[in-house]
Structure 1
Amino acid sequence: MAARCVMVLGTTSGAGKSWLTTALCRWYARRGLKVAPFKAQNMSNNARVVAGGRFDRLAAGEMGSAQYLQALSARAEPDVRMNPLLLKPERDTHSQVVLLGQVDEQLSSEGWRGRGNKVWPRVSAALDELRAENDVVVIEGAGSPAEINLKDDDIVNMRTALHAQARCLLVTDIDRGGAFAHLYGTWALLPEAERALLEGFVLNKFRGDASLLAPGPRQLQALTGVPVVATLPMWFGHGLPEEDGVYLLPHSLGEGGGGGTRVAVIACPRISNLDEFQPLAQLPGVQLAWARTPKDLEAADWIVLPGSKHTCSDLAWLRSQGLDRAVAAHAGRGGRVLGVCGGLQMLGEALVDPHGIDGNGPGLGLLPLVTVFEPRKTIRRTEASFGEVAGAWSALSGTPVRGYEIHHGQTAQHPAMAKAREPIPGLAWQNESGNVLGVYLHGLFEDPRVQQVLFGTALPGLDPVFDAMADFVERHFHPGVLERLLR
């Protein structure tokens, strides 16, 4: 028997679809059910590496970070079929297309319209396979199901819902205002067959006096026949990485209060894998902020250059903001600088692009390295150990680390310059004084061993976060609603 499908739709991006899908994955898993998440198409530069590429089930492949975390919440092994289509924006009008874990150059070169119909057989087959292997599939939509200008090519919302005959929840962010209009307008724009799949409305991020909601829910049900089944209070600090987390943290150190180690992550336009820095927002004694101007770096103890989906354009942006001079000045004073993946590439002497992958240009010159962009992307999960690490980062010496790599660039020592320290061969390099460190490994700050040696404490992991989220929805959904969605 095929799995029952519960689907979380939203009135807008940022309404809370990913969060609620993650919570429901754990809620159903705790009832002894075999659960898998699914999102037909995700647009995000936050990706994780898992086993199971398009042609080789043992090969490494990419999937969206949100679905990766949802799989962990469901107590399932992350699988590229859970996010069969991943779009990674490189420019405002172009994305790299990842189909079932692997880059598809043909699809990447095509326009958006028409792509959905072309990939739908592969996407629906992935969903059907998951349904055959599980008791419950919790499906996440994208944006809004009522984007009438995109509906003919949309595969992630109602085409998926109809294919799976999913029982759907429609969630809205009431904190932004206009929630009842968003819910009613979305319902009104859906055809009757699609409206019939809506089982309930969810008001998310509510704060204030709940009695002030009346008579809105009752009037909305009278208009649509769909009840409001949950009002979820605003919950800051739940611990789940936000897909748009760059907008949720302060941009100047000191805005968020507190002291301790002050870490500024430079928020480039094409920043990728920003979710890997979520632990820094939770660790005691750490103050984290995103930085877009030199002023944002003035109080920093550490400056982090994160991953980038388009290193050369982000490096050009960094220079246009004067951040290159600010980073160099910080490093010159002995301040700590860390580059991760694209950030590592920026720290080197030069970026060389013989195949038209990313672009050519000079680096920041803080590490004696050269990066050459290759057509074949490195995608792998990686375990290694730091050798001897000098200077400011010496606490990492001997520390085993686990993470993942996603990069077109291949980096090596500049042949005409003094050699850099290389505490992990091919993965990590330091300058002579030891305060500038570059690594290819994503997920460094998610590793509790790294947290312990750098900050003297470690977070308990994500399982308590998932359980707290499941408890939260159980408290705030009307009794029996979540069980009825499976009947």
Structure 2
Amino acid sequence: MSQLIHLPQPIPGQRPALCVMVLGTSSGAGKSWVTTALCAWYRAQGYKVAPFKAQNMSNNARVVATPDGKWGEIGTAQYLQALAAGCVPDVRMNPLLLKPEADTRSQVVLFGQVHDELSAMPWRGRSLKVWPQIAQALDDLRAENDVIVIEGAGSPAEINLHASDVVNMRVARHCNAHCLLISDIDRGGAFAHLYGTWALLPQDEQKLIKGFVLNKFRGDASLLAPAPQMLEEKTGVPTVACIPMQFAHGLPEEDGVFDDRGSNGAGQAVHTTIAIVAYPRISNLDEFQPLLQVPGVRVVWARSPAQIAAADWVILPGSKATAADLAWMRAQGLDAAVVAHANTGKRVLGICGGLQMLGEALIDLHGVDGNAAGLGLLPAATLFAQEKTVKPTRFALPALQAPWQALSGVEVTGYEIHHGQTQLRQDMQAGAEAKAAELLTGLLWQGGNPVVLGTYLHGLFENAAVIHALFGEGAPNLEDVFTRMVQGVGQWFAEMPA
């Protein structure tokens, strides 16, 4: 096993497991990415590894099995971290998932299942209710593994939330974690962020911070001196790694990050521009990561009609608030831009909430999402149900018309997470087109205008066969990404002075 100065070494078979925790000075500092890299690195050293994040706020989720034989949701970051660790994703790895529905309201998912009582509780009131279950999940994972790599949330120095914390220092104290504090140096002010975060922590929690990490660095690392030494003199905490900026690294960016750098095939000539509509409550945007790695494909996160008009394809992604996001599209003029795009013969793809928007109506009898007229590009309507559909999915794509015919017969796997149930219009079901229409109902629809395609399947582009059928190309697989991460950890943590 490699012996790195700055990363603690677990003892194989010793229980409870060693806990290494990745904290950040802010959201977007790179906690998820570094946690994934450490999961991959510890796995490569031969340890039995599992990830953990007590509470994740994200509309990016994946479907995993629950202990009672059902299907549930965990944050995408923890799902990918489990794959990096070489273990089966488990609801215990992200016991609490908050899915924002509005600026002041989130759907609460506990151990994979929507929990209406917790969703209705005030933010601070939840901690007493959920902490015993969070602690038990972490303890159970520690009893089964050599090392747990834990991700924090936001900043541990949010002093307005410290008393009700269930995701940062309360977790660190519970397992006496070896904590790394990360700052995004590309934004500037990294040393102040590191020092200020450390200074705001109580002394017993300061002692848990074992190393500072500078992330997203561009430039000459020798110019950092003497700041790391000065910071250590003030805090007693060494700077243990300097991680260079990683473009096109192969994993989805963190929530809310719309960065198309590196998305046009490593500098190759662009042959296809894909505009993904970036509405406020976009969900599962991580599933488009493979598109950013296809040579000659450029991805644009679209918020204006001009971006739609300039694109070859338009994708309407998933949404946690479909009716509200459709209203936002109309306010921006994006609804007319999407319809015009389809009417000029260019491809339009709707996924989950995007599929629902492409239909003729959103009907909400239970106060789940809201009523609205759709874009009218698919002859279907969506009825929102109180119960959420959460399950993995595997099927063969049916025979499709041009321009989607290359997908005909392709075997795909993915997952469904949605409240709505979408059905074809009654007159179409009863008419001459019924036989063809029935073939495409349930998970996939193609409109009377064949450029328009809609599906409830998340993860379509994560199927290598789909990428090859559409573009004649492939994208790096996850194991290749994890291998590069392992190599990077060995370099970045070893190069800083002890």
What interval of TM-score do these two structures reach, taking the shorter chain for normalisation? over 0.9
Q: Does 1:405 align with 2:421?
A: no
For residues 272-297 of structure 1, give each alpha carbon's deviation from its aligned partner in whole angstroms, at most 9, with x where no partner exists: 00000011110112111110010111
Write the distance in 2 (CA, Å) between the matches of 1:398 and 1:181. 56
Question: After TM superposition, which residue ranges in structure 1, 4 or more long, deviate above 6 angstroms?
Answer: none
Secondary structure in 2 matching 1:133: coil
- What is the CA–CA distance in structure 1 between the aligned matches of 2:405 and 2:455, rounded to whole Å? 14
TM-score for both structures, normalised by structure 1: 0.95
SS of equivalent to 1:421: helix
3-state SS of 1:478 partner:
helix
Percent identical residues: 64
The answer to whether 1:288 aligns with 2:299 is: yes
Is the Cα–Cα contact under 8 Å of residues 245 and 275 in structure 1 kept in the other structure?
no
> Alignment partner of 2:141: what SS?
helix
| Residue matched to 2:322 | 311
Other-structure match for 2:313:
302
String of CA shifts for 1:19-50, please: whole Å, max 9, x gaps: 10000000000111110000000000000001
Equivalent AA in structure 2 for residue 471 of structure 1: Q
- 2:453 counterpart SS class: strand
The equivalent residue for 1:451 is 467
Residues 374-402 of structure 1: per-residue CA shift (max 9 Å, x gap): 11100000000111111211111111110
User: Helix, strand or coil: the match of 2:229?
Assistant: helix
State the Cα distance separating 1:480 from its structure 2 match: 10
- Equivalent residue in structure 1 for 2:351, among 340, 345, 357: 340
Q: Does 1:45 align with 2:93?
A: no
2:151 is the alignment partner of 1:158: no
CA RMSD of aligned residues (A): 1.9
Distance 1:134 1:279 in 2: 31
The whole-number CA distance in structure 2 between the counterparts of 1:257 and 1:322 is 32
Question: Is 1:354 matched with 2:365?
Answer: yes
Task: State how far apart, in whole Å, the 2-side matches of 1:478 and 1:226 are.
Answer: 16
How far apart in 2 are the matches of 1:223 and 1:345? 55
Equivalences for residues 187-336 of structure 1 within 5 A:
187-244=198-255, 246-249=257-260, 258-336=269-347
Amino acid in the other structure paired with 2:173: L
Question: Any unmatched runs of 5+ in structure 1?
Answer: none
1:421 Cα shift? 3.5
- Contact 2:440/2:446 (8 A) holds in 1: no
Distance 2:496 2:311 in 1: 49
Corresponding residue for residue 485 of structure 2: 469
Q: Distance in 2 between matches of 1:424 and 1:113?
A: 46
| Aligned equivalents of 1:395, 1:421: Cα separation in 2 | 19
1:258 Cα deviation from its structure 2 partner: 3.5
**Distance between the aligned counterparts of 1:209 and 1:436, measured in 2?**
49
Which residue in the other structure is 1:440 paired with? 456
Amino acid at match of 2:299: L
Post-superposition offset of 1:52: 1.2
C-alpha distance in 1 between matches for 2:216 and 2:397: 42
| 3-state DSSP of counterpart to 1:142 | coil
Distance apart, 1:423 and its partner CA: 4.8
What are the superposed Cα offsets for residues 220-272 of structure 1, whole Å, 9 maximum, x if unpaired? 1111100001111112111111123642127x999x88411111100010000
Of residues 412-421 and 118-127 in structure 1, the stretch that sits farther from structure 2 once superposed is 412-421
CA distance in 1, matches of 2:158, 2:476: 40
Q: Which amino acid aligns with 2:408?
A: S
Question: Structure 2 counterpart of 1:426, which letter?
Answer: G
5+ residue gaps in structure 2? 1-14
Secondary structure at 2:494 match in 1: coil
Give CA-to-partner distance per residue, 1:180-237, whole Å, 9 cap, x none. 1111111111111111111100011111121211111111111110000111111211
CA distance in 1, matches of 2:379, 2:295: 35
2:246 counterpart SS class:
coil
1:363 paired with 2:374, answer yes
How far 1:479 sits from its partner (Å)? 6.7
Q: Please state how far the C-alpha of 1:424 moved relative to its aligned partner.
A: 4.2
For 1:393 and 1:277, the matched residues in 2 are separated by 18
Q: Which segment is superposed worse, 153-162 or 423-432?
A: 423-432
In the aligned structure 2, how far is the partner of 1:142 from the partner of 1:458?
34
Give the secondary structure class of the aligned counterpart of 2:427: coil
Note the C-alpha offset of 1:333. Answer: 1.2
| C-alpha distance 213-460 of structure 1, shift in aligned 2 (>3 A) | closer
Question: 2: CA distance between counterparts of 1:85 and 1:147?
Answer: 19
CA distance in 2, matches of 1:74, 1:471: 15
| Higher mean C-alpha deviation, range 4-13 or range 415-424 | 415-424
2:18 maps to 4
Matched length: 478
Asked if the contact 2:363–2:371 (Cα under 8 Å) also holds between the matched residues in 1, the reply is: yes
Q: Is 2:439 the partner of 1:428?
A: no
Structural mapping, 1:124-163, within 5 Å: 124-163=135-174
Task: Confirm or deny: 8 A CA contact 1:423 1:430 kept in the other structure.
Answer: no
- Does residue 380 of structure 1 match 2:391? yes
- The code of the aligned residue for 1:10 comes to G
Q: How does 1:149-188 map to 2 (within 5 A)?
A: 149-188=160-199
